[in-house]
Amino acid sequence: MGYVEYLRARHAFTVFAIVLTACIAFTDFSILYGIHNAHVEHSSANRDTTYTISVAPGSKAHGKAADDEDSVPISLADKDFTVPIGMLFGVAAYLAMVLATILGTSLNKENSRGGFAFTKPISRERLALTFIGIDLAAIVAAFSFTVLLGLASLEVLGIFGKLALEPGAAAVAAVGLGAAVMWYGLLQAATSMRVAGGGLFVGLSWVLFFIMLPFYAITFLGPIFHGLIVAIDFFNPLAYFALVSHDDIVTTISLLGFSPGTCIAITWSLATAACIAAIYGWKRVEV
Amino acid sequence: MTIFLIDPRSGVPLYIQLVDQVKRAVALGTLSPGEQLPTVKALALDLTINANTVARAYRELERDRVIETSPGRGSFVRTESGSGEVRRAIEDVGASVLADAVRETRSLGIGHATVRALFERALERWFPGTLPDTPPEET
Amino acid sequence: MNTISIRNLTKRYGEQLAVDALSLDVAPGSVCGLLGPNGAGKSTAFKCLLGLIRPTAGDLAISGAPVTPATFETLAYLPEKNTLYEWMTVKEHFELCRRTYARFDAARASELAALFKLDSRKKIKRLSKGQATAVAIALAFAIRPEILVLDEPSSGLDPIFQRTVLDLIIDAAAGGATVLFSSHQIGQVERAADRVAVLRNGKLVLEGNLDTLKGDEKIVEAVFEMDAFSPNGLASDPRVRRIVRNGRILRAYVRSGSTEIAAELEALHPKSVSVYDLTLEDIFLGAVSDAAPASGDA
């Protein structure tokens, strides 16, 4: 019976991968096309000048004239900058969250099938664990795929050498993935006992979790309101995972002020607890 | 082509219909003495009826000594040595049909003598020339 | 030991009793046809039996034990509503069953797919309702089940495939399987079932061997010279379901003892007394008709 979720997750991942690859490929080749076709006429008076063109908002390519050439080759690699791998992990985690929310109603989807999954020679607990295992594997696969695609992208753009493996990057990955699986678990817990309408919860969760971020800043409505927001934000995956970049080092901060280590502990624990609650609810649902 | 015709929609229990059909076939000779009957399962599928119903009919037929069943070999129409039983069974069917006919006719309010006269007219129709003093047909 | 044992099953939804103290047994190798109007509680009873709904009260057992996942190795359930995965193909469904069931017979599955003329590459959402039902039936029988619980197995099927389903049920039962199925097609029940049960408003109103029921349930009609009357005590005779009088005609719907009751009516010297057979449809409609009084004027 796990075969169903395998097919479903595989399909979702495939679509995810294709769309992502298409977007990244389009972007990369646009940049390369722009660089390739950019040239600057110069005369001997302009030698030793460094030319800079903008290839995308915030990124520039540079080139210097060679002795006997009429045009200046431009590449991205000349300037001195680094690409922190933590940034890559961060983006991958956000994208993995998208897949996580798509898969987060996998138990719920079985509840409107007249008991197809429940009249098979496999217990609901075992089946739920299989489903969750497959979904988590897909989430991790989405994360890894995005990272790999990012690395390939750097290579294609010729700036793979700029990659910096800073020490805090692993924490970024762990918190990011933690937030993704926490979101997944919360969706499962919220929908596993419902017979229909799982998709509604997915949409609501995106709205709710995003809105709860700026709401944290509202203090003029008093301490009770703020306390309520804090309580909700404790269960908000986006509150644990925000990327900040400082001196080319990328780390995460959490809205409620937890250290990355604490964030890892909380998000993964909540994810586990939510999945257990989801399984318990699924065991008891009547279809 | 299935040799037996039964009507599941009828108010007559299916196994009784099948028993009557078998007896009829034996009487008419479409089932010969010693001939093997289909297995319960095969006949059930052929007639598209429940196998337990067929089994019940076979048990009745065996009880009425029309067929005999040997385990592992199947069910067979009884051979000549038992044909007296078959004939008796068929006569039972005939007697019951006639009794029903008389009852139905009586229920229409027709008297004894008229029933008899009608019966003899029917006899003449289906066994022509067997009755003496057959009254001429009235137009 | 009965293969399927339902004892005093009750399911209450608030004030409503969907199933009311239902007791029903199905013996091994027997085919039990469950009839009843829409909303009579047939589907609810099946779901309680299989653990999809928690009963309010009652004892349920399959082969003498409560239902567990292991029960489903040899039990095939066909729900009323089509529950296959619309986005998966027929072939993927067969693959799913192959991986889920130890007893899945791939050769049999192919046979059944061919029998129902299924294109295995098609997604379920591209199939008609009847074809989707055919897939579900093929999957059910492909595991060579020993027990079949089928809720309206012929819904959406054309008459040819309805006959195919009947053949599958009869063949399975002849091979020793136990079948419990519900149907609105009385003709199907008349052919495939050896036992019949009728549900109305959650209650069992009729149950028994089909042939015996047909043999016992009769109408005894008496036509009198003048206004019809019934003998004292006939109305309260437990063998009599109800009595209807219209002018000179008296009809007694009896559940057994038609010959004896005919004789009792004869004793009143009417003009005639006749006994009429009842089809299963008549018997069913009589059992579920509204508040039939024990006696009254038609």
Which of these, A177, A145, A146, lies nearest to A241 by C-alpha position? A177
How sure is the predictor about B66, in pLDDT bands with cuts at 50, 70 and 90?
A: confident
The residue count for chain B: 139
- Partners of residue A59 on adjacent β-strands: A56
The phi-psi region of residue C66 (left if phi > 0; otherwise alpha if psi is between -120 and 50; otherwise beta) is: beta
Domain identity same for C107 and C187: yes
The distance from CA A159 to its chain's CA centroid, rounded to whole angstroms, is: 22
**Greatest mean pLDDT among B87-101, C193-207, C215-229:** C193-207
Out of C156, C187, C212, a domain closes at C212
Chains that touch A (3 or more CB pairs under 8 A): C
Vertex C239 angle, CA C233 and C241, to 5°: 90
Mean pLDDT is highest, among A239-243, C45-49, C248-252, for: C45-49
- CA nearest neighbour of C27 among C185, C156, C209, C201: C209
How high is the pLDDT of residue C197? 96
Shortest CB distance from C52 goes to which of A3, A11, A115?
A115
- Does A38 have pLDDT greater than 50? yes
Phi, psi torsion values for C243, nearest 5 degrees: -125, 135
Same-domain check for residues C205 and C98: yes
Residues C46 and C163 both lie in one domain: yes
Residue C194, pLDDT > 90, answer: yes
Backbone angles phi, psi at C210, to 5 degrees: -60, -45
Alpha-carbon Rg of chain C, whole angstroms? 23
Q: What band does C234 get if pLDDT is binned at 50, 70 and 90?
A: confident
Please state, as a whole number, how many other Cβ atoms lie within 10 Å of the Cβ of residue A209. 21
The shortest C-alpha distance from C292 to chain A (Å) reads 35
Predicted pLDDT of residue B114: 92
- Mean pLDDT (chain B) is 84
Instruction: Name the one residue in this structure whose structure tokens are 């995965």.
Output: C85
User: What's the one-letter identity of residue B123?
Assistant: L
Q: Are C205 and C199 in contact (CB under 8 A)?
A: yes
**For residue B134, is pLDDT > 60?**
no
**Distance, CA of A268 to CA of A214 (rounded, Å):** 24
C200 and C96 share a domain? Answer: yes
Predicted local confidence at residue B139, as pLDDT:
47
Q: Which of C100, C101, C139, C143 to mutate to test the interface with A (most CBs of A within 10 A)?
A: C100
Q: What's the sign of the alpha-carbon dihedral C234, C257, C8, C197?
A: negative
C-alpha closest to that of A234 among A204, A210, A254, A214: A254
Find the distance separating the first CA and the last CA of chain A, reported in whole Å.
18
Say yes or no to pLDDT of C50 above 90.
yes
Residues C15-32: pLDDT tens digits? 999 999 999 999 999 999
Q: How many CA atoms are closer than 13 Å to the CA of A63, on its beta-carbon side?
A: 22
**Cα Rg of chain B, angstroms:** 19
Contact A122 C73 (CB under 8 A): no
C102 and C201 inside one domain: yes
Q: For chain A, give the percent of residues with pLDDT over 90.
A: 57
Instruction: Note the pLDDT tens digit of each residue in A153-207.
Output: 988 888 888 888 888 889 999 999 999 999 999 999 999 999 988 899 999 999 9
CA atoms of B96 and A287, how far apart (whole Å): 55
Cα A186 from chain centre = 17
Which of these, C47, C36, C37, lies nearest to C13 by C-alpha position?
Answer: C47
- Is residue C284 packed enough to be buried (19+ CB in 10 Å), middle (13-18) or exposed (0-12)? buried
Q: Identify residue C242 by its one-letter amino acid code.
A: R
- Residues in C whose CB is inside 8 Å of some CB of B read 29-31, 163, 166-167, 170-171, 173-175, 187, 190-194, 210-212, 214-215, 223, 271-274, 276-282
Closest-CA residue of C relative to A5 is C96
Domains: count for chain C: 2
B14-82 CATH fold: Arc Repressor Mutant, subunit A (1.10.10)
Cβ C230 vs Cβ C273: under 8 Å: no
B9, C279: Cβ pair inside 8 Å? yes
Number of H helices, E strands in chain B: 5, 2
Tokens standing for residue A59: 């990124």
| pLDDT averaged over every residue in chain C | 91
pLDDT of residue B30: 86
Residue that wins the pLDDT comparison between C145 and A287:
C145
Greatest mean pLDDT range, A246-250, A274-278, B72-76, C266-270: A274-278
Beta strands across the sheet bearing C240-246: C272-277, C218-223, C249-254, C240-246, C295-297
C267-298 pLDDT, tens digit per residue, is 888 888 888 999 999 899 888 875 444 444 44
**CB-based contact C85 A3, cutoff 8 Å:** no
Average pLDDT over residues B74-98: 77
Q: What is the mean pLDDT of residues A212-232?
A: 89
Q: Mean pLDDT across the stretch A112-137?
A: 95
- Assess whether pLDDT exceeds 80 at residue A40: no
Does C203 score more than 90 pLDDT? yes
CA distances from C66 to A32, A124, C42, C51 (A): 68, 16, 20, 9
pLDDT recorded at residue B97:
83
Q: Are C185 and C217 in contact (CB under 8 A)?
A: no
Which distant-in-sequence residues (6+ apart) come within 8 Å of B34 by Cβ? Answer: B76, B77, B78, B79
Contact criterion met (CB below 8 Å) for A184 and A100: yes
Structure tokens at A142: 């989405």
A47 — contact with chain C (CB < 8 Å)?
A: no
CA atoms of A35 and A22, how far apart (whole Å): 20
Which range has the worst mean pLDDT, A245-259, B62-76, C185-199?
A: A245-259
- Name the residue range of residue C259's domain: 217-297
Residues written for chain C: 298
The confidence score (pLDDT) of residue C296 equals: 45
Mean pLDDT for all residues in chain A:
87
C93 and C122 in a single domain? The answer is yes
Tokens (6 digits) for B87 = 């004939």
**Whole-number pLDDT of residue A269:** 96
Same domain, residue pair C185 and C243: no
Q: Answer yes or no: do B50 and C173 touch at CB < 8 A.
A: yes
Per-residue pLDDT tens over the stretch B28-64:
778 888 899 999 999 999 999 999 999 999 999 999 8
Residue C68 shares a structural domain with residue C105: yes
Six-digit token string for A195: 């017979």
Same domain, C179 and C234: no
Give the ranges where chain C is alpha helix by DSSP (H).
42-49, 90-100, 106-115, 129-142, 159-174, 186-192, 210-216, 258-266, 280-288
Dist CA C16 CA C41 (whole Å): 11
Which of C69, C73, C92 shows the shortest C-beta gap to A7? C92
| ipTM summary value | 0.87
Radius of gyration from C-alpha coordinates of chain A: 24
Return the structure tokens found at C230. 């019934």
Asked if C187 lies within 8 A of B11 by C-beta distance, the reply is: no
Q: Among C160, C192, C212, which residue terminates a domain?
A: C212
CB contact under 8 A, B12 and C191: no
pLDDT at C298 (0 to 100): 43
Question: How many other CB atoms sit within 10 Å of the CB of residue A221?
Answer: 11
Banded pLDDT at C66 (limits 50, 70, 90): very high
**CATH number of residue C207's parent domain:** 3.40.50.300
Residue with tokens 């008389």, as numbered in its chain = B102
| Residues C291, C286: Cα–Cα separation, whole Å | 10
Helices A124-156 + A169-191 axis angle, to 10 = 140
Asked if residue A53 has pLDDT above 80, the reply is: no
Which domain-ending residue is among C212, C229, C246?
C212
Put residue A42 in one of left, alpha, beta given phi > 0 → left and psi -120 to 50 → alpha: beta
- Across the strands, what pairs with A63? A51
- Residue A113 near chain C (CB below 8 Å): yes
Yes or no, beta carbons of B11 and C193 under 8 Å apart: no
Q: How far apart are CA A245 and CA A86, in angstroms?
A: 9
- Cβ within 8 Å, pair C174-B45: yes
The helix (run of H) or strand (run of E) holding residue B136 is none
Write the pLDDT tens digit of every residue in A75-105. 666 667 778 899 899 999 999 999 999 999 9
From first CA to last CA, the distance across chain B in angstroms is: 42
Chains A and B are in contact, defined as 3 or more C-beta pairs closer than 8 angstroms: no
Per-residue model confidence as pLDDT tens digits over A54-77: 655 555 666 665 655 555 666 666
Residue whose C-alpha is closest to residue A14's, from A74, A102, A82: A102
Q: Residue C22 corresponds to which amino acid?
A: L
What CA–CA distance (Å, rounded) separates A222 from B3? 91
CB contact (8 A) between residue A121 and residue C79? no
In terms of domains, do C224 and C138 share one? no
Lowest mean pLDDT among A215-224, B69-78, C224-233: C224-233
The domain limits of chain B are: 14-82, 85-126
C146 and C258 together in one domain:
no
H/E element holding B76?
Answer: strand B74-77
The tokens describing C237, both together, are: 């005779």
- Weakest mean pLDDT among A29-43, A263-277, C269-283: A29-43
**A113: chain C residues, CB-CB within 8 Å:** 83, 85
Q: What is the pLDDT of residues A129-166, one digit of tens each?
A: 999 999 999 999 999 999 999 999 988 888 888 888 88
Which subunits count as partners of chain B given 3+ CB pairs below 8 Å?
Answer: C
Name the residue among C254, C214, C250 with its Cα closest to residue C238. Answer: C254
In whole angstroms, give the CA distance from residue C284 to residue C37: 10
- pLDDT for residue B111: 87
Do C147 and C226 fall into the same domain? no
Token pair listed for A79: 């300037």
